[in-house]
Structure 1
Amino acid sequence: MSIVKKLTLGFRPGNRAFRVESMRGLLIDTLMDARGSALPETFYTLIADPSPAGVVSLMDQEQGNILYVDRDNVVITRDVYKKQNGNIDLEAAFGDFKRVWGVIQGVLKLDNIRRIGIVAEHRYKASGDGSSDLISKITRLPVHDYPANFTLQFESRTHSGKGKLDAAKGAFTNCIYQIYDSAIDATAPAEGFINSNFDYQTYYSPLINTKNVTEEMERHFFAFKRELVKFNSEMDGLGLKGNGAKQK
């Protein structure tokens, strides 16, 4: 099983949830009160303050749990980049994410979900510097003296319907591949390492309602795990995980 340094579960409603602004205080209070019952006691010990109007941003340092809610998104994250040899247990994290979502829904009652996505981030020791390693392994380009800032990103979309895929309103799945020099990571940069990140998204049409979100979330997680195995097999095939060095 691959080592996951950061796991994110995200939801995007079909319409902006402007009620987040007026219910921000109630949502924060409810999440704080849920610790020790619906949520572990160690969750969300820090509130980002001041926050922009209509944004809820909570975090804790012990387990690396982060929550971000605004009009357009609910993003639930566990980040163990700062832990030596840290590795996220996918099943345990997803169970906690479901509980967080349940608390949020008890307040906001978000409906008509357009997209559910799960992102897994992996990090591996490069055989040299990250950019040189990536250029030599996944491109046909020569490695010049001091390469830097290598990044590769693309999306692969599939749908089961007939006719052309409608990215604006249709139902489809989207896999986002990100492979880059960890030195340019936005939140946890590290020299001499490589990131390979996999984002698995489901777009719904018709939109899914409140009572079906948990069921769809579980179905999405099951599919994500299956696709993540394929992704890591592809990374193995590129030689990105074959260096045998300790991960950061």
Structure 2
Amino acid sequence: MYKLSEKGERIRSMFDEIAPRYDFLNRLLSLGIDRGWRRFAVGQLAVPAGGEVLDIATGTGDVALEIARQTPRDVSIVGADVSREMVEIGRQKVAASPHAGRIIFEISPCEALPFVDNRFNGITIAFGIRNVVDRPQGLAEMHRVLRPGGRVVILEFSTPTFPPFRALYQFYFLKVLPRIAGLFSRQSAYQYLPDSVMEFPSREEFKALMATAGFKNLRHFNLTFGIATVYVGEK
């Protein structure tokens, strides 16, 4: 059994606590744009008929459900997350969806995935890689469980590239967003969000980490002026 670090335990506990309002605040704070980001990210997968996809840091299952919407019915999906409260909400959402038979959930950290080598045809992780405490180990685990020829798709917040927009965005992200979120949920969790984004590696630095883990054919796509970035790599 993998033992989370003290920081990992704090992150897990934080997501357990904010789980009931997580989906609502995602839509509110992003003005609903997050749905389009997830659709684009899932669209970068290339899953064969009868294949299997792993969604890491699956949370309440939004990406797992999007994968089900975009792939044939014989593609199966596994969602993995460290937060039991988030996963429980995800299970309820999946049970009420047309995709109930295709998605299962596991409680697992990214750094110690409980799956055999070369199992999955595709892997996704959305807004979760910056919460992986041992990021090189997490990326190595993704590479291990991905089949040769498979594709990993990572969606994460990033710093906008256009200077005037970057200044406006950072004011909203650092000052306004935590206060709005604090009206509905735990404010410290939404202060952690911008702090963790500002500490995240640059696009080229992160692709270098992916390369070190073994991924090839690396590329990235900036979304909404660079508020979010999709990274794609292959095994």
Calculate the TM-score normalised by the size of structure 2: 0.29
Report which of the two has the higher share of strand: 1
Larger helix fraction of residues: 2
Q: Calculate the TM-score normalised by the size of structure 1.
A: 0.28
